[in-house]
Amino acid sequence: MTLARRLARRLLLGISLFCCAACPANRTPVNLEFSATWAGQAIRCGESELSLTDLRFFVSDVVLIDAAGGESPLVLTTDQRWQQQGIALIDLENGEGGCANGTPETNATLSGLVEVGDIQRIRFTVGVPFELNHANPLLADAPLDDSAMHWHWRSGYKFLRAGVTTVSDGFWLHLGSTACTGTVQNIGACRSPNRVTVELGGFSLQRNRINVDLSALFEGVNLNDGIRSDCSSGPSESACTAAFTALGLPFGEDSDRPIPSSVFQVGH
């Protein structure tokens, strides 16, 4: 870490400490839990008939909405591992079984501070904001230093990696921005940003978590044809169509944005 960045971090830490001391008492810590299911049943890395092979994703721009429509951002805390600069890495795989390319560490919880009100809705983005997405990952702090969450030939992060396997079939998805212009160190814009905005009603901070329904994500994928396939968000990959549709993302040069995603749900 450069001296300048170290100083900047100290300054930020100072500001946040000051804020905690000086802010109104209704700024309270919040933990938001994430889970994963397949057709209502928990899905894990392992050796069962249908198992997880990967599930990691970046969450940013979390906003909590009260009954009157008032919005308050969930200000993510910064730690040295899972959260920084308003983004969090959620890691629901534990490196076991078919998740051999993963890590033993998991992180199902996002932590932040919010001005508590009568929260009824939540909105968040699955993805890394453009300003952070195209910096050099070898110079980044955790969790943006995780090379498994980055693709170097397209520039930018894999916003979401998700995969399942059966005994004889499987599918995995790596989602991230494509069709970017410029060069790796100087990206202009990405024509397919591929960030997923999720907004969910009927949500209570005290009672609910966010569930990822992989059976919805892979609904259009044939897991019974004996062909293991994958999607790396490339525009020429026909295997991407189904997963992009499920996420409510346009795919292909002229496609319209399909209906909003049902992959992310309020969990109980």
Partner 1 sequence: MTIVLTVIVFSIQSAPFDWHLADGYPEPQVPDDNPMTPEKVELGRWLFYDTRLSGNNTMSCGTCHRQVLAFTDGKTNSIGSTGVHHPRSSMSLVNVAYASRLTWANPLLDRLEDQALTPLLGENPVEMGMSGRDAEIGALLESDPNYRPLAKSAFPDDENPYSVLNAVRAIAAFVRSIVSFGSPYDAYLAGDSNALSPSAERGMELYFSERVECFHCHGGFNFTDSTTHANTDVERVGFHNNGLYNLDASGAYPEDNTGLFDMTGKVRDMGRFKAPSLRNIALTKPYMHDGSIATLADVLDHYSRGGRLTATGENAGDGRLSPFKSEFVDGFELSDSERADLIQFLGSLTDESVLTDERWSNPFAH
Sites of contact with partner 1 (CB under 8 A): 101-103, 138-139, 146-148, 150-155, 174, 178-185, 187, 191-192, 230, 232, 234-238, 252-253
- Long-range own/partner contacts, residues 181-186 (CB < 8 A, 24 or more apart): 184/134, 184/152, 184/155, 185/136
Taking the complex as a whole, the smallest distance from the CB of residue 8 to partner 1 amounts, in Å, to: 18
Please, what is the minimum distance in Å from the beta carbon of residue 246 to partner 1? 20
In whole angstroms, the minimum distance from the beta carbon of 183 to partner 1 comes to 5
**Closest distance between partner 1 and the C-beta of residue 173, in Å?**
11
Report the C-alpha gap between 153 and 155 in whole angstroms: 6
Q: How are beta strands 170-175 and 229-231 bridged, if at all?
A: parallel
Structure tokens at 30: 């919040």
- Beta carbon nearer to partner 1, 126 or 187: 187
Q: Which is nearer to partner 1, 204 or 238 (CB)?
A: 238
Residue closer to partner 1 by CB (options 91, 213) is 91
Please state the closest distance from residue 138 (CB atom) to partner 1, in A.
Answer: 4
Among residues 5 and 191, whose Cβ is nearest to partner 1? 191
Nearer to partner 1, 79 or 105 (CB): 105
Dist CA 158 CA 57 (whole Å): 8
Which burial class, exposed, middle or buried, applies to 209 when counting CB atoms under 10 A from its CB (0-12, 13-18, 19+)?
Answer: middle
Is there a contact between 108 and 42 (Cβ–Cβ < 8 Å)?
Answer: no
Length of the chain: 268
Q: Helix or strand or coil: residue 207?
A: coil
What is the 3 state secondary structure string of 174-210? EECCEEEEEECCEEEEEEECCCEEEEECCCCCCCCEE
Select from 210, 49, 68 the least CA-distant residue to 125: 210
CB of 46 to partner 1, least distance (A): 20
Nearer to partner 1, 6 or 10 (CB): 6
